[in-house]
Amino acid sequence: MERKDYLQTPVKHIKIDGALTVDKLMQQFNGSGALGAGRLATACNIYEKMLKDKDCTIFLALSGAVVPAGMRTIITDLIRKKLVDIIVSTGACMVHDAIEAVGGHHYQGGWAVNDQELYKYHLFRIYDIFVPEEDYVRLDFKLSEMYDNIAAERKGESLASNEFAWEIGKRLTDENSILRAAYEENVPIFLPAVRDSEFGFIHWLHSSQENKKPVLLVDAFKDVPTICNICAKSPKNGMIVIGGGVPRNTIQSSALASKKGLDYAVVITLDRPETGGLSGSTLEETVSWGKMKGHADHVMVIGEALMVFPFIVASVTERLGESFRRNPFLHFENQIKESKP
C-alpha cells in the first residue's frame, strides 16, 4: 500500500433532515463509514449483496434473547419473504418462540429487581425481561403431548434436529411463530444444541413416565450431513449471526467441512475475542480455519442485537423495495408435511 491508498474516502458528516427514513439514515452512516455507524452500514450493504446474489444461500444464526426481547416477528417475516434460507438456532430461542405460540408472553421488567422475590413468585428474569414459570410449564405439558404423538408416528426412528423443528412447527397453529413459518415455508431450522433447552429437559419428563413407549428420539449427528450438503450444493454461502455460540460454529464448521468457506458474513455481538471463545472471535480468525474465504465480504457489528438487527432489516428491505422477490438457489422438500398431511 502506498500513502495515498490510505486516504481514498473522506468521512462525510451525517446530515439529519426532517424526512429521514431508516435507509436514508443508513446511507448517512455509510457516508461517515466510521466506528459503529460504519460497521452497521457495511452490514446492511453485505446483507443486500447476499440477497441479490442468486447463487447465495443465507444462513441466519440465532442465540440469546432474540424472541424474549421482541424480534420474533422480524425472523418470521424474513422466513415468509424468503430473505433467509436456513436458520441455525439455540434450542432456547425456539423454546421462547413456542412459549408465545401456545399463548405465553414475555414481559417488560427491569434488571434492578429483587430476584429472590421473583423466585418466590415463580417468575424468571432474562436481564430486564420477565417470563412467568407457568408459560414454560404450559408449553412443557403441550410438548410432552407432541413428543408422544411424534414418537408414535416415528415408531422408534430417530429425528434430526431440523426434522424435530418441523415436527414441532407442524403442531403449532400460530402464524407468527418462527417454527410454524419455517414448517410452512420449507425453511430448515437446525438446533444443534437442542438438548440444552426446555426441549431437552421436557424430554426427561416425557421419557420417565411409567410404561412410556415409544420415546421420542432426536439424533444430533443426523444433522451433520444435511447441513454440510446444503453448503456443498450452494455455489455461495453467507451467514448473519445474532450472538454466536453453537449456532455460529455450526454454520462456520459446515462451510469448512463442505470445503466451501463462507462468501459473506455479518456477525452482531458484544463478545470479545480475547477469551478465545467463538462468539467474540474475529472473522479474520475464521479465515485462518478455512471457514470463511479470505476475500469474503464481512463485518462484525459490535452491539446489542435488538438495537442493531432491526435497523439492518429495515434498511435493506427499504432499499430493495416492495416489489423485490427472491428466488433462493436451494429449495427444500418437507417430507414431514408431504408424507403426513
Partner 1 sequence: MTDGNDAEKYCGNCDSHNSYEYPIKVFCSTRYGKNKNPIVDTLWHCEDYNKVSQECYCTREALKKKNGDKATQS
Binds partner 1 (CB under 8 A): choice among 53, 97, 140, 174 = 140
Candidates 209, 275, 282, 288; binder of partner 1 (CB under 8 A) is 209
User: Does position 141 bind partner 1 by CB under 8 A?
Assistant: yes
Cell, residue 111: 434488571
Q: Which of 37, 137, 215, 257 binds partner 1 (CB under 8 A)?
A: 137
Stretch that binds partner 1, among 24-32, 60-68, 120-128, 229-237 (CB under 8 A): 120-128
Range 20-30 burial, b when 16+ CB lie within 10 A, else e: eebbbbbbbbb
142 among known catalytic residues: no
Task: Check: CB of residue 171 under 8 Å from CB of residue 147.
Answer: no
3-state DSSP call for residue 167?
Answer: helix
Q: Given candidates 42, 63, 76, 144, which one binds partner 1 under the rule CB under 8 A?
A: 144
Specify the stretch interacting with partner 1 by CB under 8 A; choose among 137-145, 154-162, 222-230, 300-308: 137-145
Give yes or no for a cis peptide into 310 (omega within 30° of 0).
no
Which cell is 325 given? Answer: 422477490
Question: Cβ–Cβ contacts within 10 Å for residue 123, how many?
Answer: 17
Q: Report strand pairing: 56-62 vs 292-302.
A: unpaired
Residue with cell 423495495: 321
Regarding 205 and contact with partner 1 (CB under 8 A), the answer is yes
Shortest separation between residue 143's beta carbon and partner 1, angstroms: 12
What is the pattern of x (binds partner 1, CB under 8 A) and - over residues 78-117?
----------------------------------------
Q: Which of 8, 108, 114, 208 binds partner 1 (CB under 8 A)?
A: 208
**H helix runs in 208-341, sequence order:** 223-233, 245-257, 283-289, 305-320, 335-339
For partner 1, which stretch binds (CB under 8 A), given 61-69, 119-127, 235-243, 325-333? 119-127
Provide the CB-side half-sphere exposure for 69 (13 A, CA): 21
Options 211, 323, 327, 339; binder of partner 1; rule CB under 8 A: 211
138 touching partner 1, by CB under 8 A: yes
Q: What are the beta bridge partners of residue 267?
A: 241, 300
Which sequence positions are flagged as catalytic?
291
Chain positions contacting partner 1, by CB under 8 A:
119-122, 132-134, 137-138, 140-141, 144, 205, 208-211
